[in-house]
Amino acid sequence: MATWLITGCSTGLGRALAEAVLAQGHNAVVTARNATTVQDIAAAFPDTALALPLDVTDRAQISSTVQQARTRFGGIDVLVNNAGYGYRAAVEEADDADIRRLFDTNVFGAVDMIKAVLPDMRAKRAGSILNISSIGARISPAGSGYYSATKAALEGLSGSLHKELQPLGISVTVVEPGAFRTDFAGRSLTQSATALADYAETAGKRRKENDTIHGNQPGDPAKAAEAILAIVESANPPSLMVLGKDAYDAFAAVAQAERTELDQWRDLSLSTDIEG
């Protein structure tokens, strides 16, 4: 039995994962900014679930959550940084305050969670950290530049963290889901107040009023939860895992396009070295 701490459990993937973890007999600290939204999960598993309020931009709440997890279950074996939200705007359209809130939640909130659990994981020389990213980090759609940037930042940090922690027995996995049938494109999606006409045919097509994917996403959150459980239980967890056929195909297409462009400009790239 392991103890999981999962952020952002009120809906979607976080809720599905919490329910799957508990159904498998593990302990789970189930968190949301409003803890009443996850009380039903704790009520269904009174001996193994602990529902707590957690805003990942609040360091005092992070510290309290980790301490309560220690008191109740003895420590945290698995951290899942799932809390986050989407934001759509052309780069020029975005409000500075919106951008900072987005990074505070999607990047720095995850960083503060990681730093809060690592001392105990290092002491045990064991643990798993899963950072929920997005295929957006790979494909960078017009209108999702800032959201994609938060996930790309999280992935860059995770890559270094993986190299730092692997010798200590702690695994780090980036999870890149495609479109899953959650509330991400509904309640959890925000956008700029400003919409400039020049971007109507690029970023404008991704604004909420023009969105057609909500409720029609191909991914099943329950199956994603089972995949994440399999990752943690693996003897050799991957450093990066894509979830969903749409994500897999998009990742493969981007990788191929990048390789083609790399080879196309090879001679100019190599021309910049000092000749010996």
Which CATH number fits the domain that encloses residue 87? Answer: 3.40.50.720
Burial 98-124, CB ≥16 within 10 A → b, else e: bbeebbebbbbbbbbbbebbbebbeee
Note the Cα 238 to chain centre separation in Å: 15
3-state SS assignment for residue 87? strand
Asked if residue 275 belongs to a domain, the reply is no
At residue 275 the predicted structure's pLDDT band, cuts being 50, 70 and 90, is: confident
CB-CB contact of 11 with 189 (8 Å): no
pLDDT(122) > 90: yes
If DSSP codes are grouped into helix, strand and coil, which group holds residue 216?
coil
Q: How many domains does the chain have?
A: 1
| Residue 109 domain-assigned (yes or no) | yes
Percent of the chain with pLDDT over 90: 89
Interval 71-115: pLDDT, tens: 999 999 999 999 999 999 999 999 999 999 999 999 999 999 999
As a whole number, mean pLDDT of residues 23-29 equals 98
DSSP reduced 3-state for 175: strand
CB 124 within 8 A of CB 98: no
Average pLDDT over every residue of 5-20: 96
pLDDT digits (tens, 9 = 90+) for 136-186: 999 999 999 999 999 999 999 999 999 999 999 999 999 999 887 666 655
- What pLDDT is attached to residue 109? 98
Residue 276 confidence (pLDDT) = 77
Over 80: is that where the pLDDT of 250 sits? yes
- Work out the average pLDDT over 120-141: 97
pTM over 0.95: no
Would you say residue 266 lies in a domain? Answer: yes
Instruction: Give the range of the structural domain holding residue 141, as residue numbers without chain letter.
Output: 3-270
- Whether the pLDDT of residue 241 is over 60: the answer is yes
Q: Is residue 78 part of a domain?
A: yes
Q: List the catalytic residues.
A: 133, 147, 151
Per-chain mean pLDDT for the chain:
94
**Is 115 contained in some domain?**
yes
In a domain, 16, yes or no: yes
The pLDDT value given to residue 179: 87
Instruction: Please state, in angstroms and as integers, the Cα–Cα distance from residue 8 to each residue in 50, 73, 159, 168, following that order.
Output: 14, 20, 23, 27
Q: Judge whether 276 lies within some domain.
A: no
